[in-house]
A and B are shown apart, each in its own frame.
Chain A
Amino acid sequence: MAQFIARRFLYMILAFVVISLVTYFLMKAAPGSFLAMNVGVNGASFGADQFQVSPQVMQSIINHYHLNAPWYVQWWGFVKGFVTLHMGTSFEYPNTPTLQLIEETFPVSLSLALISIAVGLAVAIPFGIIAAVRANSWVDSTTMFAAMTGTAIPSYIIAVFLILIFGVWTHLFPILGYQGAQYYVLPVLSLAIPMIGASSRYLRNSLIENLHSEYVTAIFARGGTLKDAVFGNALRNSLLPLITTIGPLLAGLMMGTVFIEEMFGLPGMGHIFVNAAGRRDYPLIMDSAMLYAVVIMIMNLLVDIIYGVLDPRIRRSGRMG
């Protein structure tokens, strides 16, 4: 296991370097620069005279971010800053250190994503079990239809429905800001509902497959009931692969939370990073890309480790696929 983690860690470092390089070059290849965009029309002269980004200010930005240095110096500056947590400030938020922005907002986004996954799974698992046990019956098709309908609707449309129902018609939950747990209810549901469909379907199919496998026949041959087969054996084996979907699910959610955070006015990191690319905010683009990469890689690693701990074949042999 330790060897596995060490090897994965090396891969992660490699992937991190590649991601930071790709991001750097794509970012530099995009036309326009933060200075030009914020200086306004007709180039620098306008900036110098009207927008009041004086030559001194521009020079200080150029020096501060080494914008005239060779590419590897700039790139290394970003990577080193990120790794050592000395990211400094971005173009867009010149007076708030990027690290402080991340510290303030990251827990909100991460908890939103994790709670949504937890809620989504808490609903998806019973749905999947009911559908699998009653496979090809009306119970199965009704459950799966309900679940897939949720998946077919994007989370921001679901958010509008939830706001209408719970915020405007019944006033059961607040729809804006963050002052307590009840402010999380609607955002979490908006993110969780689309997830339920895919996850419950995944579990259903996996469980049906398990229930049709020989070892379940053997359980029946030993005198086990369907309940023994599902809860004693097949469910655990079906949940194992479901765990592996959490990594990509989380990656998707980290992106998906951006819009939901904005709609519900939650202080997550989405709003800070979402416009970075559009504004050519180089430090923020680099820091956010590297942060997302690290978060997603760590989450995937954690998921794999959890999988390994739960699956005796991997836990005992110490090998992972």
Chain B
Amino acid sequence: MRLKSNARIAISLVAASGMLAGFGGLSMGATTAHVRPVLTSQDTAAFYIIDDGIGFDPALWSWDAHEDQIGIFEGLVHFGPGDKPAPGIATSWSNNGKNGNGLVWTFHLRHNARFSNGDPVTAQDFVYSIERAVNPATAAATHHGSSWFGDVPLKNAPAIVAGTASASTLGVSAPNAYTVQFDLSAADPTLLQQLCLDPWQLPVDQRIVEKMPETDWTNPQDIVSDGPYMLKTYKTGISATLVPNPYYYQKVPLKQINLIYTTSTDGLLAFKNGAEQIALLSSTDVPAAESDPAIKKDLHWESAAIQYTFRVSPSKNPLLQDNQKVREAFEMAIDRQVITKRVMLNTGTPAYYSHIPSTIAPWVTKAGYYYNPKEAQKLLAQAGYPGGKGFPTVVLLDSGTTDPTAEAVQQMWETTLHVKVKLEMDEWGTFLTDLYKQLPANEVGFYQWGDNGTYPMLALPTSMSNIASVTWSWMPVDALPPAAYAKYYAINNDQSLKSTVRLAEENKLILSSIPKSDVNILELGVKADQTHNSTLMEKYIIDVGRLAYNLPVYTVRNGVLVDSNLKGYSPVIWWDTDSPVWMGYLHYQG
């Protein structure tokens, strides 16, 4: 999910290019037409999903909580087909946007919703659960991160997180047993999407959870949930089985769902065997699946909103930070078509903005620079490096053992720009350490990163006072000149500073060190966020993209095999997985 999946991308790239490459050729041998008998009954479905073993507590940020979201729990709303919000426990809702200031949302709950132990799901459960998730003490007790990100402007939430107000002051209330009311500090037109994305809105049974130790969240028999399915078994990192919640408010279509967690399982073979009804293909298995007449009809292409990008590395040499034309030249020298078609074998589509795929907002293509080798050479010559002469060595920092895309980019830069490109493959932990280190003065560079996508509206900076923290669109830290970056690095690593103090100092440093034009763009973004003005929003995103601090290469496109008899599947696009938006939709035809 989100940033965590960056690691997943890095890891899956390694896996795809390394070990799994060995399977590609072999799997092709499996393409002789064999009619796939259905081993499992028509009442069961199995698919791969990511697991991290943190536990199914919706108040914690984890992949298990993602599983909660798609049907183990059911919140006010959940994603429906096409990732649009659909009614959940709330059957209707209203926002006083037209008459008032848009600060109050009212959700009307269905009266027949029950937890898996038979307890009714009431508005009070929602209030309890959301307060519990926002309360920093909940996460602190578990040594793990909260699922509350502060993306929704619930009243008093920042004060509660900072520890200056009690959780009971949160802007969530229950006027009656079946009405939930949100009081916001600012209007939020994307609230429903946000609720679908975040597990903190999922209701837990107050009566049970109040007395439940955190360690019980990995024991199926102790977990009480309100979704269509409930956990029957759970084996960390291996598998889980789900069975219908006997108290669910409507008939649950499947008798059992098997969640497969193992990452080394070959999706194509598992699908052909009948062990999985929804299977994620590795890129090397795509040709085999496409040429197999027995399963070709089952192959679906789903874009995941994740972008493979290169970011400018910090360096003692100010060249890349100083010179936008040089950055543009490097972006123009990347042939995205060749990479997506020939290197990624169509498991990627060209990307033009680091956080927003063109499948979500087609206009983001304007934020990138298209492949143009002539222009790239010209720009580099104008910058004083005709034919790459005198240009410092370019370090391309990457993680894993091999990365065919990075190798292709290395080759493109060397042949088009005639610069020396050094590709450095680091182990993941080393990579995370190295990417903060300034390169020496005779080197400049880029590092590889995977960025999760989001809605354009959610990609805007919310305030000029928290620029130092990541905004979904852009990390202005990339723009810091060498001396300022060194200062930033020192502040950032100063453990003696309180986080609020550190953040304020970093913010001040960034705003005073980056080019004025960059500051203007940030101010435009904040304005767009505060006014919900879509024209300003587009302008901000295109402006940021054209600064070329990030060079987006491709958006991940997954080949997913879906049993032709299994209906109701629609993928979650926000995370690099083949999980369905809502398990409650899955059913067999007839």
Contact = CB atoms under 8 A, between A and B. Distances in A.
B136 interface: yes
Contacts of B345: none
A265 B236 contact: no
Contact of A262 (B57, B262, B449, B475): B262
B32 to A, nearest CB: 8
Given A49-B466, A94-B142, A95-B142, A32 B430 contact: yes
Contact of B236 (A36, A59, A101): A101
A51 B275 contact: no
Interface stretch (A119-127, A133-141, A174-182, A241-249): A174-182
Contacts of B61: 51-52
B503 interface: yes
Contacts of A94: 54-55, 142-144, 214
Interface in B27-77: 27, 29-30, 34, 37, 39, 46, 52-55, 57, 61
A41 B475 contact: yes
Interface stretch (A74-82, A156-164, A202-210, A227-235): A156-164
Interface in A1-54: 30-33, 36-38, 40-54
Nearest to B215: A95
B79 to A, nearest CB: 22
A224 interface: no
A171 B39 contact: yes
Interface stretch (A188-196, A266-274, A297-305, A308-316): A266-274
Given A41-B449, A45-B503, A263-B265, A169 B145 contact: no
Contacts, number: 226
A89 to B, nearest CB: 7
Interface string B1-23: 00110110000000000010011
Interface string A93-129: 1111100010011000000000000000000000000
A163 to B, nearest CB: 5
A91 B143 contact: yes
Interface string B248-288: 00000000001011111110011011111000000000000
Nearest to A177: B239
A42 B79 CA distance: 31
Nearest to A101: B236
A173 to B, nearest CB: 9
Given A96-B215, A176-B273, A265 B55 contact: no
A11 B487 CA distance: 51
Interface string B145-179: 11111100000000001010000000000000000
Which of B137, B142, B470 has the most chain A CB atoms closer than 10 A to its own CB?
Answer: B470
A31 B434 contact: yes
A278 interface: yes
Nearest to A91: B143
B218 interface: yes
Nearest to A96: B218
Nearest to B161: A54
A96 B55 contact: yes
Contact of A177 (B147, B218, B275): B275
A61 B145 CA distance: 11
Interface stretch (B113-121, B203-211, B380-388, B491-499): B491-499
Contact of B140 (A56, A160, A164, A263): A56
A93 B54 contact: yes
B140 A95 contact: no
A265 B218 contact: no
Which of A61, A92, A104 has the most chain B CB atoms closer than 10 A to its own CB?
Answer: A92
Contact of A265 (B137, B148, B260): B260
B53 A93 contact: yes
Which of B214, B218, B262, B449 has the most chain A CB atoms closer than 10 A to its own CB?
Answer: B262
B469 interface: yes
B584 to A, nearest CB: 23
A268 to B, nearest CB: 8
Contacts of A266: 238
Q: Is chain A's interface secondary structure helix, strand, loop, or mixed overall?
A: helix
Given A96-B53, A176-B276, A51 B145 contact: yes
Nearest to B258: A177
A279 interface: yes
A154 to B, nearest CB: 9
Given A45-B468, A45-B502, A92 B436 contact: no
A256 interface: no
B3 A40 contact: yes
A36 B492 contact: no
Contact of B263 (A101, A169, A262): A262
A60 interface: yes
Nearest to B217: A95
Contact of A57 (B4, B29, B145, B265): B145
B23 A160 contact: yes
A164 B429 contact: no
B235 interface: yes
B477 A42 contact: yes
A263 B265 CA distance: 4
A30 B429 contact: yes
B269 A50 contact: no
A92 B53 contact: yes
B237 interface: yes
A271 B262 contact: yes
A48 B492 CA distance: 12
A55 interface: yes
A71 interface: no
Nearest to A61: B143
Contacts of B427: 278
Contacts of A226: none
A96 to B, nearest CB: 5
A42 B428 CA distance: 15
A64 B141 CA distance: 11
A122 B492 CA distance: 61
B222 to A, nearest CB: 11
B469 A45 contact: yes
A215 B74 CA distance: 78
B400 to A, nearest CB: 10
Given A42-B470, A45-B469, A51-B61, A89 B143 contact: yes
A259 interface: yes
A163 B269 contact: yes
A163 B273 contact: yes
Contacts of B217: 95
Contacts of B503: 45, 48-49
Contact of B430 (A30, A38, A48, A262): A30
A265 B262 contact: yes
B139 interface: yes
B432 A57 contact: no
Contacts of A48: 499, 503
B433 interface: yes
Nearest to B23: A160
Contact of A176 (B144, B145, B260, B506): B260
A162 to B, nearest CB: 10
The 5 closest A-B pairs by CB, nearest first: A32-B429, A262-B264, A176-B275, A31-B433, A56-B140
30 contacts: A40-B3, A41-B449, A41-B470, A42-B436, A42-B475, A43-B493, A45-B506, A49-B466, A49-B503, A54-B136, A54-B140, A56-B136, A56-B137, A57-B140, A60-B140, A92-B53, A93-B218, A94-B143, A94-B214, A95-B144, A95-B215, A97-B215, A101-B236, A156-B22, A157-B22, A168-B34, A175-B269, A264-B265, A272-B236, A278-B427
